[in-house]
Amino acid sequence: MIDSVVVIVVHLVFALAITPVLIGVMRTVRARLEGRVGGGIVQPWRDVLKLFAKEPLRAPGSSPVLTWAPLLLMASSLVLCALIPLVSTLPLAGVPGELFVVVSVLLLGTVALAMLGLEAGTAFGGMGSSRHMVFTALVEPTVLLSIYALSVPAGTSALAAIVRSRRDDLSTLLNPVSILAIAALIVVVIAETGRLPVDNPATHLELTMVHEAMILESGGRDLGWLEFGSWLRLTALLGLTVNLAVPWAVAGDASWTALLVGVAATTVKLVAAAALLAAVEVFLAKLRLFRVPELLAGSFVLAFLSVSASYLVF
Amino acid sequence: MSLTRLLSMITRTGTMTEPVADAPIEIREGFVPPACLRGSAQVRHVDAGSCNGCEIELGAAFGPVYDAERFGARLVASPRHADVVTVAGVVTQNMVEPLLNTIDATPNPRVIISIGDCTRGCGVFAGSYAVAGSVDDFAEVDVHVTGCPPAPEAIIAALRAVTRR
d(CA A277, CA A189): 11
Please state whether beta strands B41-47 and B84-88 pair in parallel, antiparallel, or not at all (unpaired): parallel
Looking at the domain assignment, is residue B3 inside a domain? no
Asked whether residue B112 is domain-assigned, the answer is yes
Residue A127 in contact with partner chain B when CB distance is under 8 A: no
Provide the domain count of chain A: 1
Query: Are B121 and B90 within 8 A, CB to CB?
Result: no
Radius of gyration, CA atoms only, chain B: 17
Q: Strand B91-92 relative to strand B131-133: parallel, antiparallel, unpaired?
A: antiparallel
CATH of residue B53's domain is: 3.40.50.12280
The rounded Cα A109 to chain-centroid distance in angstroms is 11
Q: Minimal Cα distance from A224: which residue of B? A: B81
How far is A174 from A159, CA to CA, in rounded Å? 19
Q: Is B76 contained in some domain?
A: yes
Question: Residues A166, A167, A170, A172: what is their CA dihedral angle, to the nearest 10 degrees?
Answer: 0
Q: Is A284 on the interface with B (CB under 8 A)?
A: no
Chain B residue with CA closest to A211: the answer is B77
Q: Smallest Cβ distance to B39: which of A46, A55, A212?
A: A46
Task: Note the pLDDT of residue B15.
Answer: 87
A/B interface, count of CB pairs below 8 Å: 93
**A277 within domain boundaries:** yes
pLDDT given for residue A288 in this prediction: 86
A131 sits in which H/E element = helix A123-154
| Number of domains observed in the structure of chain B | 1
Say which residues have a Cβ less than 8 Å from residue A260's Cβ, sequence separation at least 6: none
pLDDT at A217: 87
Is B9 within the bounds of a domain?
Answer: no
Helix or strand holding residue B143 (H, E): strand B143-145
Cross-chain residue pair A219–B80, CB shorter than 8 Å: yes
Find the radius of gyration of the CA atoms of chain A: 19
- Closest to B71 (Cα-Cα) out of B141, B161, B2: B161
Residue A165 and residue A248 in contact, taking contact as beta carbons nearer than 8 Å: no
Give the model's pLDDT for residue A154.
85
What is the reported pLDDT for B142? 94
Query: In residues, how long is chain A?
Result: 314
The helix/strand/coil state of B43 is strand
What range defines the domain where residue B90 resides? 23-163
Kindly state whether residue B1 falls inside one of the protein's structural domains. Answer: no
Instruction: Specify the DSSP element, H or E, that contains B111.
Output: strand B111-115
Distances (CA, A) of B125 to A144, B86, B95, B122, B138: 62, 19, 15, 6, 17
Q: Which chain B residue shows the shortest CA-CA distance from A217?
A: B80
Given a cut of 50, the residues of chain A with pLDDT beneath it are: none
Q: Which of B16, B64, B107 sits opposite A219 (nearest CB)?
A: B107
> Which amino acid appears at position A121 of this protein?
G
Beta-carbon separation of B13 and A43 below 8 A: no
CA angle, residues A55, B103, A124, in degrees to nearest 5 = 85
Strand residues in A29-120 grouped as ranges (E): none
Query: Are A219 and B75 an interchain contact pair (Cβ–Cβ within 8 Å)?
Result: no
Q: How far apart (Å, rounded) are the C-alpha atoms in residues A109 and A226?
A: 10
Tell me if residue A202 falls in helix, strand or coil: coil
Residue B123 DSSP code: G
Q: Whole-number mean pLDDT of chain A?
A: 89
Per-residue confidence (pLDDT) for residue B1, from 0 to 100: 67
Q: What integer pLDDT is reported at residue A103 of this predicted model?
A: 92
pLDDT confidence of residue A270: 95
List strand residue ranges (DSSP E) for A171-283, in order.
none
Q: Could you read off the pLDDT tens digit of each residue along chain B, which spans 165 residues?
A: 688 898 898 889 888 888 888 888 888 888 898 989 998 999 999 999 999 999 999 999 999 999 999 999 999 988 999 999 999 999 999 999 999 999 999 998 899 999 999 998 888 888 899 999 999 899 999 999 999 899 999 999 999 999 988
Q: CA–CA separation, A125 vs A210, rounded Å?
A: 9
B90: left (phi over 0), alpha (psi -120 to 50) or beta: beta
- Mutate which: A29, A55, A57, vs B, most B CBs within 10 A: A57
Give the CA-trace dihedral at A216, A218, A223, A229, to 10 degrees: -80
Q: Is residue B5, in this structure, part of any structural domain at all?
A: no
A207 close to B (CB below 8 A): no
Q: How far apart are CA B47 and CA A262, in angstroms?
A: 51
DSSP run (H or E) holding A260: helix A256-282
Q: Which DSSP helix (H) or strand (E) runs through B145?
A: strand B143-145
Name the residue range of residue A106's domain. Answer: 2-140+157-169+204-281
Residue A129 lies in a domain: yes
